[in-house]
Amino acid sequence: MDLENICYKVTEIAREVGGFIRQEKDKISTEIIESKGLHDFVTYVDKEAELRIVNKLMNLVPNAGFIVEENTSTEAGNVYNWVVDPLDGTTNFIHGISPFAISIALLENDDVVLGVVYEISLHECFYAWKGSKAFLNGNEIRVSETAHVEDSLISTGFPYYDFKRMPEFLQSLDYFMRNSHGVRRLGSAATDLAYVACGRFSAFYEYSLSPWDVAAGALLVEQAGGKVSDFKGKRNYIFGKEIIASGAKVYTEFFEDVNKFMVK
């Protein structure tokens, strides 16, 4: 399989559908926002964007299935599956703030072999495939060289509905706010991971996530020289609902800090 060629075609799809999302941004009103659950919103833009992405991806990898947020396709593949979030950061989008992004990954069994994150507002397309470098709009990117948490800018996300681990999470926030350059919460995990891949953030952690939130971004971080794991240091971050991602030099210290708060 020519992953490089497929990846470039996926970036074209992301840019095209991103253009659609961008042109619809000013048409959003409260009357057309649906709620899928507590603090979990969806609009016609999410659904239409996903449908457009799915229809275009169908022809790229024969017999590939789909794992998608808005359920426009429910057919799983035996080996290959596209993992798609058509609009990561919907809450940002409906309030007219950035970032919000398209995230597209290709799984071969449980291994991510291709990832594209397109941050729509800034026209920034991050992409990589297994064995490649990581790129932003054609330029190679690398993770931060920061070696210590005290010198790191850290990103995280807040849960929308799963608050069972909030006491531990708030303890971790308190620690990182006191012992790093600061903590940021953008509202788009896909963008957070892309920013780790290009060195804007030194590290990222979050729980209560779905595969489409993290699959593409996790590959970007690894191909940019970083490390990714779950909170226990294992590789169950695609379906395990928790993730740590950072530059390679700071990973061990950052992992130990997250682990001591989030694993009981």
Please list the pLDDT of the chain residue by residue as tens digits (264 residues): 899 999 999 999 999 999 999 998 877 655 556 655 444 456 788 899 999 999 999 989 989 999 998 777 778 888 999 999 999 999 899 889 999 999 999 999 999 999 999 999 999 999 999 999 999 999 999 999 999 999 999 999 998 778 889 999 999 999 999 999 999 999 999 999 999 999 999 999 999 999 999 999 999 999 999 999 999 999 999 999 999 999 999 999 999 999 999 998
pLDDT digits (tens, 9 = 90+) for 163-210: 889 999 999 999 999 999 999 999 999 999 999 999 999 999 999 999
Domain residue spans of the chain: 3-141, 149-262
Name the CA radius of gyration of the chain, rounded. Answer: 17
**Which of 187, 190, 195, 199 has its CA nearest to residue 250?**
199
Task: Report whether 115 contacts 215 (CB < 8 A).
Answer: yes
Q: What is the pLDDT of residue 38?
A: 45
Question: Cβ distance 140 to 134 under 8 Å?
Answer: yes
- Any idea which residue has 């061990």 for tokens? 252
Domain 149-262 fold is D-Maltodextrin-Binding Protein; domain 2 (3.40.190)
Q: How many residues does the chain have?
A: 264
Query: pLDDT at position 28, please?
Result: 65
Distance of CA 65 to the CA centre of its chain: 20
Question: How high is the pLDDT of residue 46?
Answer: 87
Number of alpha helices (DSSP H) and beta strands (DSSP E) in the chain: 7, 14
**Signed CA dihedral, 215, 34, 12, 109: sign only:** positive
How many other C-beta atoms can be found within 10 angstroms of the C-beta atom of residue 201? 28
CATH architecture of 3-141: 2-Layer Sandwich (3.30)
